[in-house]
Structure 1
Amino acid sequence: MQCYRIDESGYTGFDLLNADQPFQGAAAIAINDGDAERLIREHFPMLQASELKYRSLSRRPANHPRLLALLRDLLTEYQSVTYICDKRFLLVLMFCDYAVEPYYYERGYDFYADGQNYAMASLLTMTGPTLLGDPEFGEMLAAFQHAVKEKSHGALRAFVDAVRATKWLQFPEALGPIAQFAAPECQAAIAHPGVDTDAAMVVLQSLISRMEVMNDEPYRIEHDRSKNLARYNALLERLIGHRDEIELKHTKIASLKFPLKLTEVHQVDSKDSPAVQLADVMIGAAIEVALVMAGKRKDGIDPDALMSLYAEEQFIHLTPSLDFAEQREFRAGTEASRAIDYMAANIFGPLQEDGR
C-alpha cells in the first residue's frame, strides 16, 4: 500500500494573524524510509545531526545548492503535493463565510456561486487597510478572530463595534450586514460551536483532494508525533471514518469524494523516519520561499530556482487574486455552500482539547 509521509509548518492554532508566521502549509510525499535515507546520505554525506531539519540546514547559504538538488530529486522522482496558504487571507475568507454569507443566504442569494466569496475576500485582503482604514481593518479582523474563539456576547458585541469603527460604507456589500444590521444570522454562525479559525482542515482537504487523484488504490499516511500534528491526526481520522458515498466539488480541478481511498493514519517519531524528515524539508523550503517572496525575509534559497522545480499539480496555494475573471472560471460550478454544510453536519464538530 502506498504510504505518504506528511509534515506541516506555520501552525498557530486559531490565531491566523500571527505576524511571525503569516503562512501555513503542509507537504506530502510518497517515499519509503530506505529511499529517503539514501537521498539524505547522498546530498548531505557530512550530516552530523541525528535528524535532517530544513530550518537548521537553510541557515547556512552553503547548503542551499544541496537543498535544491535534494528537492529536485524528490519532485522529479516521487509523487508529492505541497500546499501553502496566506493565513490573513484565509481569515478574511472565514470572515466572508460567517460574517457575510449567512445574511445573503437568508435572502435566497448564493454567495458562493462562481467563487464570489473568493473575489470579495481578495478585494478585502488587498485593499482593506486603504479602503476601510488602517489600523481599523486589522482591529476588525482581530475582533472577528476573537469572537469566533470566545463565542461570548461580549466578544460578539466587540466585533460588531469593530466593524462599525471602519469606513464600512466604502464596502457595504461585505461589511453592511454586521455594521448596519448586526445581522443575527451572522452572529449565530460565528457563535456556532463547530466554527473555528483553525486552518488545519483547509490544509488537509487540499492535500487529500490531490492525493485522492494520484491514487487508484487505498493508501495511508504517516506523520510526526508532534503537538501541532495532533490536530491534523484527529481530523484525518474523522475523514477516514466517514463512509457515506458523496462527492463535493470545490473548484474546476478539485473535489472530495467519500469514502476516501485513504484508509490509515499513523504517528511516528520523525527521528526514526527519514521519509518524514524529507516532508519537513519540502514544506520548510516552500514556507521560506513564501516569506522571501512576500518581503518578510531576505535570506533563504532562491525562490525562482525552487518554484521552477514544481510541476503544476505538485503545488497548491491559497492567496488573494484580483484576476476576478480567472477566479470565476476556476470556481465555476463550485459546491462550496453544499460542501461546508455537509462537512459541518456530518463530519466535523468541535474537537476536544486533546484534539479528538
Structure 2
Amino acid sequence: MECFRIDESGYTGFDLLNPDQPFQGASAIAISDEDAKRLIHKHFPKLQADELKYRALAQRPANHPRLLALQQDLLTNYKCVTYVCDKRYLLLLMFLDYAVEPFYHAHGINFYADGQNYSLASLLHVAGPKLLGKGALHRLLGCFQRAMKEKSQVALEDLIVAARATRWRELPEALGPLAQFAAPECLQAIATPGVSTDAAFIVLQSLISRMEVMAGGPYRVEHDQSKKLLTYHNLLQRFIGHQEEITFKQSEIASITFPLKLQSVAQVDSKTSPAVQLADVMIGAAIEAANTLMGQRKGRLDAQQVLAQYADDQLIHMLPSVNFQAQKRFRQGTQAEEVINYFAANFQKP
C-alpha cells in the first residue's frame, strides 16, 4: 500500500501569535524508506549525523546546493505536497468564523459567499493595525485566542472590552458584532466546547485534500512520534474513522470526499525513517522561505529558488491577498459554510 510520510514545522498549539514562529506547515511525500535512504546518500554521501535535519544542514553554505538538488529530486520524481500558512492570517479567519459570522448567519446572510471572509481577513491583516489603532488588533486577537481556549465568562468579557477599545467604526463589518452588539450568538460560538485556535486541523485537512487526489488507491500515513505530532495523529484517526459518504468543494481546485482513501496512520521514530527525514527537509525549507519572503528573517537558502521548484499543485499556501477579485474567482461557488458546519459537527473534540 502506498505510504505518505509527513512532518510539520511551526506548530505552537492554540497560540497563533507566537512572534518567533509566524508560519506553520507540513509536508507529505509518497516515498519508501529505501528510496529515501538512496537519495540521502546520493546528495549527502559524507553525512555523519544519525538523522537528516534541515535546520542542521542549512547552517553550512556548502550544503545549500545539495539541499536544493534534493528538493528538486523529490518534487520531480515523487508525489509531494507542502502546506504553509501565515498563522496571524489564519487567526483572523478564525476570528471571523466565530466572532463575526454567527451574527450574520442569525440575520440570514451567507458571510462566506464567494470567499468574502478571506478578503476581509486579508484587509484586516494588511490594514487592520493602522485602521483599528496601534496595537489594538494584536490585543484583540490575543483576547480572542484566550477566550477560545478558556471558554470563561471573564475571557469573553475581556474580548468584548478589547473589541470596543479598537477604532471599530472604521471597519464595523468585522468588529461591529462584538463591539456594538456583544452578539450572543458569537459569544456562544466561541464558548462551544471542542473548538479552538489550534491550526493542526486546518493543516491536515489541506494535506489530505491533495493526498486523496495523488493517491492511486488506498494509502497510509507515517509521521514522527513527537509530542507536537500527537495532535495530528489523533485527528488523522478521526478522519479515517468517518464513513459517511459526502463531498465538499473547498475552492476552485480543491475538494474533499468521505470516506477517505486513507486507511491507517502510524507514528515512527524519525531516526529510523529516512522518508520522514526527507519530509522534515521539505517543510523546513518551505517555512524558512516564507519567513524570508515576508520579511520576518533572512533564510539560509535562496527563498525564490526553493519555491520556484514547486509545481502549482505541489504547494498550498494560506497567505493574505488584497487581490480581492482573484480571491472571489478562486472561491466562487464553494461550500465554505457547509464545510465548517459539517466539520464542527463531526470532528470537533467531544
Q: Could you say which TM-score interval applies, normalised by the shorter chain?
A: over 0.9
Give yes or no for contact 1:25–1:82 (8 Å, CA) kept in 2: yes
Corresponding residue SS for 2:6: strand
Residue of structure 2 in register with 1:266 after alignment:
266
Q: Are 1:72 and 2:72 counterparts?
A: yes
The answer (yes or no) to whether the contact 2:14–2:198 under 8 Å persists in 1 is yes
Residue type of the alignment partner of 2:105: Y
Partner of 1:165: 165
Paired letter, 2:159: F
1:94-243 equivalences in 2 (<5 Å)? 94-243=94-243
Q: How does 1:298-317 map to 2 (within 5 A)?
A: 298-317=298-317
SS at match of 1:284: helix
1:31 aligns with 2:31: yes
Q: What is the CA-CA distance between 1:104 and the residue it aligns to?
A: 0.2
The residue that corresponds to 1:43 in the other structure is 43
Confirm or deny: 8 A CA contact 1:250 1:335 kept in the other structure.
yes
Kindly state the Cα deviation for residue 259 of structure 1 after the two structures are TM-superposed.
Answer: 0.1
SS in structure 2 opposite 1:223?
Answer: strand
Partner letter of residue 92 of structure 2? V
How far is the alpha carbon of 1:348 from its aligned partner? 2.4
**For 2:28, what is the secondary structure of its paired residue?**
strand
Q: Deviations over 1:182-235 (max 9, x none)?
A: 000000000001210000000001000001111231011000001000000000
The letter for the 1-side match of 2:24 is Q
* Aligned partner of residue 207 in structure 1, secondary structure: helix
| Inter-partner Cα distance in structure 2 for 1:137 and 1:307 | 31
Counterpart-to-counterpart distance in 1, 2:129 and 2:60 = 37
- Give the letter for the 1:48 counterpart: Q
Opposite residue 261 of structure 1, the aligned amino acid is K
For residues 79 and 53 of structure 2, the distance between their equivalents in structure 1, rounded to whole angstroms, comes to 21
SS at match of 1:41: helix
Matched, 1:324 2:324: yes
CA contact (8 A) 2:51 2:277 kept: yes
- The residue number in structure 2 matching 1:290 is 290
Distance of 2:163 and 2:4 partners within structure 1 = 43
Structure 2 equivalent of residue 281 of structure 1: 281
Q: Distance in 2 between matches of 1:21 and 1:254?
A: 27
Give 3-state SS (helix, strand or coil) of 1:25's partner.
Answer: strand
SS of 1:296's partner is coil
CA contact (8 A) 1:28 1:279 kept: yes
C-alpha RMSD over aligned residues: 0.7
Partner amino acid, structure 2, of 1:333: G
- The DSSP-based 3-state class of the residue aligned with 1:220 is strand
Contact conserved, 1:27 with 1:283, CA < 8 A, in 2?
yes
Runs (4 or more) in structure 1 with deviation over 3 Å come to none
Q: Deviations over 1:233-271 (max 9, x none)?
A: 000000000000001111111111000000110110000
- Structure 2: distance between partners of 1:204 and 1:6: 10
In the alignment of these two chains, the number of paired residues is 350
Q: Structure 2: which amino acid aligns with 1:23?
A: F
Is the CA contact 2:195–2:348 (under 8 Å) kept in the aligned structure 1? no
1:299 shift after superposition: 3.4
The separation in 1 between residues aligned to 2:20 and 2:61, in whole angstroms, is 22
In the alignment, does 2:335 pair up with 1:335?
A: yes
Supply the AA of the counterpart residue of 1:305: Q
Amino acid at match of 1:326: A
What TM-score results when the alignment is normalised by the length of structure 2?
Answer: 0.99
Normalising by structure 1, we get a TM-score of 0.97
Q: Alpha-carbon deviations, 1:106-134, whole Å to 9, x = none?
A: 00000001001101111011111011011
Structure 1 unaligned spans of 5+? 351-356
Counterpart in 2 of 1:347?
A: 347
3-state SS of paired residue (1:5):
strand
Percent identical across equivalent pairs? 64
Amino acid at match of 2:337: S
Structure 1 residue 304, shift from structure 2 partner? 1.3
